[in-house]
Chain A
Amino acid sequence: MSVAALGRVAVAPAAEHGASLWSDAWRRLGRNRAAVTAGVFLAVMAALTVAAPWLPGLADPTLQDLRLGAVPPSPQHWFGTDELGRDLLSRVVYGGRISMLVGLVGTLVSLVIGVTWGAVAGYAGGRVDDFMMRVVDILYALPYIFLVILLLVLFSKTLIMLFVALGLVQWLTMARIVRGQVLSLKTQTFVEAARALGAPDAAIVFRHIVPNTLGPVIVYTTLTVPAVILQEAFLSFLGLGVQPPAASWGTLVSNGSQVIALFPWLVIFPGIALSLTLLCFNFLGDGLRDALDPQDRRDVA
């Protein structure tokens, strides 16, 4: 979905109600201190990881210093170093780059599949809807992650495959949410109006209906990112995810856990980075849900 479409939705209701859902939601989110803190933390974390190659004083994450070996945190190496003398702070920051990237791209893949699937099923209704939702039900019941493992082991353990595999696991709930929204939206008059004007079905679904499902979609997207990061770390922990020399937080935790008795900081720092990020995404997602879901308003009041 384009930024322009987002803007249109944000502006349109404002003309009718005075305070739009979005400005109202924004205000409510602003009052939620936990969500704001989480948002700020994530923004800083994202900025840090994006800017990593140009950060002054941040060592090369692959630079080895075998004579140094693993040393605990010190003024030179804030997070200590690993067995090969690589600076852990730098490895955590660069690991965050990969974890965040996988999280975002995997979510994007699931977003595209889930929204399309849900919107088409909800709009088409009838047998098509029955069939498409039955597929979702069946997939829900599967130990889906096993197929992902199979996919990664059998074909290639490249980053692209990881994006696709993780996106493929996550779209089911999104499809259900969007379908539910579409079911109620498609009977509304603006859809009828669009149809009366002769808009083709595809245009009605993707230009008129889908933008109106944005609220729940945003909330669920915020909750999908940490889920994907979690899955990536899970696969990397098993050795099936990101391959060396690249390292995500999952890889770092995995490597560190093998030497935890000797060099505990190798698990602690990447573990904290991973857990804090997940926690912040969850706080932000909860905050967004409270802000955007009108049903929940009585709880907040």
Chain B
Amino acid sequence: MTTFILRRVLLFVPTLWAIATLTFFMVRLAPGGPFLAERDIPAAARAQLAHTYGLDQPLTAQYTRFLANAVRLDFGPSYKFPARQVREIIAEAFPVSLELGVWALLLALLVGVPIGVIAAVRQNTAADTAAMGLALAGVSIPNYVLGPTLVLGLSLSLFLFPPALWQGPESRVLPVLTLATTYVAYIARLTRAGMLEVLRQDFVRTARAKGLAERAVVMKHALKLGVLPVVSYLGPASAGVIMGSLVVEKIFAVPGLGRHLVNAAFNRDYTLVTGIVLFYAGFLMTFNLLVDIAYTRLDPRIELS
């Protein structure tokens, strides 16, 4: 177990290095620069700017300095907002995105898994068909369609929830719902498939044969294995939630990291973009590792190599 974790952590280093290198050179190779304003600035001022940010040094020097700083999570000041450090912006905006994402994933699990279990237990009944039809619809309606629709229906027509911003508990409802729906649907489908697979197995027949109540068979014996596909889906799901947060934060004007990323991309705010991308890469890899550990805890058949 320890060697498994150690190995995975060791894999972090080359992966993060690869991403860092890729982003660094992509940014430097791109046409146009961060100080390319609509109005031309004097050559002297431009040179001063380049000097301040170290852009006048040779590429290799810039690269080594970038890597050395990145290790310390120091990405320098934002190009667009020089008074602010990238680190500060991330520290300020990430908790918002994290809250949004955690709520969305929790909702997806708490609603998706029970729906999937019910559908599997009542396979080929009307309940199953209805649940899976809904799930397929949920997978097919993208969040950028669902979000505006929810705003239109629940906030602009029925006035139940505020249509935007991130103030107070009511304001959380629509963004979380928008972000979670796809995953509720997907997790329901995964749970159903996983449960159907498990319910066919011999140990379930044994459990039934020894007279266990159906409820106990499903909840105690089958569910443990049946949700494994869902656990391994949590990694991709969290990547998807981060991606979805870009959209949701834009629709609902949530002051999270996703909005900063999109704006920074438009502003060619190189330091901020690189910082956020690297931060999310590290975050996702850590999360994936935790998911893998949880997975092996849940499924004793898996041997770590």
Cross-chain contact A141 with B285 (CB below 8 angstroms): yes
Cross-chain contact B15 with A138 (CB below 8 angstroms): yes
* CB<8 Å pairs between A and B, sample of 19: A141-B288, A143-B242, A143-B277, A146-B276, A146-B281, A149-B262, A153-B266, A154-B26, A154-B29, A234-B142, A237-B250, A238-B246, A260-B148, A260-B152, A261-B152, A267-B149, A267-B152, A271-B149, A282-B140
Q: Is B141 an interface residue, CB under 8 A from the partner?
A: yes
In the bound complex, residues from chain A placing their C-beta under 8 Å from that of B268 are 153-154
Chain A 57-95 against B: per-residue CB contact (8 Å), 1 yes, 0 no?
000000000000000000000000000000000000000
How many Å from the CB of B236 to the closest CB on chain A? 8
- Of B17-25, B86-94, B207-215, B294-302, the segment with at least 4 beta carbons within 8 Å of chain A is B17-25
Binding site for A on B (CB under 8 A): 11, 15, 18-19, 22-23, 26-27, 29-31, 136-137, 139-142, 144-145, 147-149, 151-152, 156, 196, 235-236, 239, 242-243, 246-247, 250-251, 261-262, 265-266, 268, 273, 276-277, 280-281, 284-285, 288
Specify the main secondary structure of chain B where it touches its partner.
helix
In the bound complex, residues from chain B placing their C-beta under 8 Å from that of A238 are 246-247, 250, 262
* Closest chain B residue, CB of each to CB of A153: B265
* Closest chain B residue, CB of each to CB of A262: B156
* Closest chain A residue, CB of each to CB of B288: A141
* Closest chain B residue, CB of each to CB of A250: B144
In the bound complex, residues from chain A placing their C-beta under 8 Å from that of B251 are 257
* Closest chain B residue, CB of each to CB of A274: B145
How many pairs of residues, A versus B, come closer than 8 Å at their CB atoms?
A: 121
* Closest chain B residue, CB of each to CB of A230: B142
Other A-B contacts than A146-B281, A149-B262, A278-B140, 12 sampled, CB-CB below 8 A, are A138-B18, A140-B236, A141-B15, A142-B281, A142-B284, A154-B26, A154-B27, A230-B142, A237-B250, A238-B250, A254-B144, A271-B145
In the bound complex, residues from chain B placing their C-beta under 8 Å from that of A253 are 144-145, 148
Specify the main secondary structure of chain A where it touches its partner.
helix
How many Å from the CB of B98 to the closest CB on chain A? 15
Cross-chain contact B250 with A146 (CB below 8 angstroms): no
Q: Is A210 an interface residue, CB under 8 A from the partner?
A: no
Binding site for B on A (CB under 8 A): 138, 140-147, 149-151, 153-155, 226, 230, 233-234, 237-240, 250, 253-254, 256-257, 260-261, 264, 267-268, 271, 274-276, 278-279, 282-283, 286, 299
How many Å from the CB of A271 to the closest CB on chain B? 4
List the 3 closest A-B pairs by CB distance, nearest first: A154-B30, A279-B140, A257-B148
